[in-house]
Amino acid sequence: MTRRSVLTGSGSALPRRALGNEELAKMVDTSDEWIVERTGIRNRYIAAPDETTVTLATVAAKRAIEAAGIDAKTIDLIILATATPDQTFPASATLVQHELGCNGGIAFDVAAVCSGFLYALGIADSMLRTGMANRALVIGAETFSRILDWEDRATCVLFGDGAGAVVLEAREEDSVQPRGILATRLHADGAHNHLLFVDGGPSTTGTVGKLRMRGKEVFRHAVTNLADVLVEVLGDAGLAIEDIDWVVPHQANARILDATARKLGLAPERVIVTVDQHANTSAASVPLALDTAIRDGRIKVGDLVMLEAMGGGFTWGASLLRM
Ligand code: UT7
């Protein structure tokens, strides 16, 4: 028997307001045609002033807890991946913890932008397997609409707000067909931080700043890095691409998903795609897509699922789990 981190519930949350491409085209010089052709995005959700990273994270967390069928008070670890916390400090995870009423355990935020959920999952898995915690809530939540330059059409059409969460429980699993996280690889390369960044911060400008991106270069790195890290994780698990039931990628651009799948020889029907509905929700995108596919019945207990993401830093990573 081996102690493993088993995913026992998922949940997600979106702001009330949907913003379609046609409506967006009345705000900036763009078109539905350009956005769909270049990105596959048709819609995104935008948080109202009373909807924040913490409120969205809390709703997603409550849904994940309900799906797992556990008492929130038994959660002893919360890791919240976000680049858009409610406040510079305290960590938004501590605010979510208080909302859930599970005070006293470990709670902190992780900043790895779009790869944040993969980083959070990897850390939670390590902490669960070493016995530092027994029941973890791993959340990705963002309100990127607050850090977009709404006059920059090259970036503002790409992102949206939302949250996704999973419950991970430490369980003794047999070694033949164990459920849980089987392998994870995380990477960062700070040489590229000028390609995708926010032009402000508490220690420099004293402001929050706005997102800046050199999209073409990010695109090129994303396809290579994601294909490479998937192959690494498969190697660690001793599995081949044909063994995977589902890939749940970071939802940045449908063309990145297609190009990565082609590079790996992965059948497109095994890739979960929600970028058309949610746009790029950064750290929320993987758990939001995962929850969508669990709730619509595609991803089932026993399936082998690969999660992957790449974002600012650059940071990137992938994680393989049996549901
Ligand atoms: O989550 C982190 C990871 N992020 C990503 O993975 C994003 C990766 N990058 C991308 O998804 C793509 O590079 C973009 C969608 C951002 C851009 O697509 P592209 O095919 O690389 O387009 P481009 O930046 O080369 O722009 C092509 C043209 C330009 O016009 P000219 O110079 O050819 O006349 C842009 O000015 O499209 C123009 N353009 C737009 N036109 C209408 C840029 N944004 C828009 C827009 N509407 N919103």
Q: How far is the CA of 215 from the centre of ligand 1 (A)?
A: 6
Residue with tokens 């046609």: 22
Tell me the two tokens of residue 171: 């369980």
pLDDT at 175: 82
Pick the CATH number of 180-322 from 3.40.47.10, 3.40.50.2300, 3.20.190.10, 3.40.50.1000: 3.40.47.10
- pLDDT exceeds 90 at position 129: yes
Q: What is the pLDDT of residues 41-83, one digit of tens each?
A: 999 999 999 999 999 999 999 999 999 999 999 999 999 999 9
Annotated catalytic residue, options 156, 250, 253, 278? 250
Confidence of residue 235 (pLDDT cuts 50, 70, 90): very high
pLDDT above 70 covers what percent of the chain?
A: 100
Nearest Cα residue to 291 out of 51, 63, 62? 63
pLDDT at 176: 86
Query: Cβ neighbours of residue 176 under 8 Å, at least 6 residues apart?
Result: none
Confidence of residue 196 (pLDDT cuts 50, 70, 90): very high
Radius of gyration of the chain (CA): 18
Which atom from ligand 1 is nearest to the alpha carbon of 153?
A: 48
250 noted as active-site residue:
yes
Same fold, 2-173 and 180-322: yes
Task: For ligand 1, say whether the CB of 38 is within 6 Å of any of its atoms.
Answer: yes
List C-alpha distances in Å: 131 to 65, 103, 104, 206, 218. Answer: 21, 19, 16, 39, 38
We find that the CATH architecture of domain 2-173 is 3-Layer(aba) Sandwich (3.40)
280 noted as active-site residue:
yes
Confidence of residue 246 (pLDDT cuts 50, 70, 90): very high
Task: For ligand 1, say whether the CB of 218 is within 6 Å of any of its atoms.
Answer: yes
Domain regions of the chain by residue span: 2-173, 180-322
Handedness of CA 225, 230, 236, 238 (dihedral sign): negative
- pLDDT exceeds 90 at position 299: yes
pLDDT at 48: 98
Tell me the two tokens of residue 272: 């979960």
Q: What is the pLDDT of residues 5-19, one digit of tens each?
A: 999 999 999 999 999
- pLDDT exceeds 90 at position 220: yes
Annotated catalytic residue, options 21, 43, 114, 192? 114
pLDDT at 211: 98
Is-contact 5 129, C-beta < 8 A?
A: yes
Q: What is the pLDDT of residues 170-188, one digit of tens each?
A: 999 988 899 999 999 999 9
- Distance (Å, rounded) from C-alpha 84 to C-alpha 97? 17
Give the predicted TM-score (pTM) of the model.
Answer: 0.98
pLDDT at 238: 96
What is the residue with the minimal CA distance to atom 18 of ligand 1?
38
Q: How far is the CA of 279 from the centre of ligand 1 (A)?
A: 14
- Most ligand 1 atoms within 8 A of CB, residue of 31, 197, 216, 314 to mutate: 216
Is-contact 23 150, C-beta < 8 A?
A: no
What is the residue with the minimal CA distance to atom 39 of ligand 1?
154
